[in-house]
């Protein structure tokens, strides 16, 4: 059993998750071997990573994801194409960027920590330190727990209220 964020949109007639294969792992290699039509046992969804119609209509979102933590943001943008957002996606190299074409390039920043080739060279947390974050933004974070803890500290220090912060943490 593993927890994965939904990657597909609310209106899609399929369920899609984004999985990074972990060499020697138990679940990700098995998922990689799956073929369309294979049966899987699923539970859920669980969690609090939801938006309401009023927030989507009037709020500006800051989506911060590392690696496959981009999944819930892909789902939100696919489900609500008019949502107002800025996406920070942290990856080691630009080759690890997932489905960049699904996001408006004027609202998406690929932060690469170990190579050039992204839109910004450095971690998403360094980008946050170097740029002004409007305290009115609704900030959603998903990914590595260390990134989330550091980003929370930075965002709270920038005046973002606690009720404007949501996170989905893994590993």
Q: How many CB atoms lie within 10 A of CB 115?
A: 13
The sign of the dihedral angle between the CA atoms of 116, 117, 119, 123 is: negative
Secondary structure (3-state) at 67: helix
Domains and CATH numbers, the chain: 53-170 (3.40.50.80)
Q: What DSSP element (H or E) covers 4? A: none
Q: Model pTM?
A: 0.89
pLDDT, tens only, 83-137: 999 999 999 999 998 888 999 999 999 999 999 999 999 999 999 999 999 999 9
The gap from C-alpha 94 to its chain's centroid, in whole angstroms, comes to 16
* Tokens 């002004």, located at residue: 132
* Per-residue pLDDT reduced to its tens digit, 75-94: 999 999 999 999 999 999 99
Q: Please compute the mean of the pLDDT values over residues 14-29 and round it to a whole number.
A: 88
Alpha helices in the chain (DSSP H): 28-32, 53-58, 71-79, 124-130, 145-157
- What's the CA gap between 74 and 78, in Å, rounded? 6
Lowest mean pLDDT across 5-9, 20-24, 62-66, 167-171:
167-171
Count of beta carbons in the 10 Å neighbourhood of residue 163: 7
Closest by CA to 108, choosing from 78, 143, 63, is 63
Q: Hey, how many other C-beta atoms are within 10 angstroms of the C-beta on 42?
A: 10
């Amino acid at each position: 059993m593993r927890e994965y964020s939904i990657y597909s949109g609310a209106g899609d007639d399929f369920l899609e998750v984004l999985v990074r294969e972990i060499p020697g792992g138990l679940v990700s290699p098995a998922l990689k071997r799956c073929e369309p039509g294979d049966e899987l046992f699923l539970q859920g969804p669980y969690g609090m990573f939801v938006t309401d119609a009023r927030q989507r209509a009037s709020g500006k979102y800051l989506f911060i994801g590392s690696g496959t933590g981009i999944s819930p943001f892909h789902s939100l943008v696919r489900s609500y194409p008019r949502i107002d957002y800025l996406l920070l996606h942290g990856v080691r190299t630009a080759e690890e960027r997932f489905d960049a074409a699904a996001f408006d390039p004027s609202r998406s920043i690929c932060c690469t920590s170990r190579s050039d080739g992204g839109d910004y060279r450095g971690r998403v947390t360094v980008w946050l330190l170097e740029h002004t974050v409007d305290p009115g933004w609704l900030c959603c974070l998903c990914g590595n727990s260390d990134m989330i803890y550091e980003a929370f500290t930075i965002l709270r220090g920038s005046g973002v209220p606690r009720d404007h912060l949501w996170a989905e943490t893994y590993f």
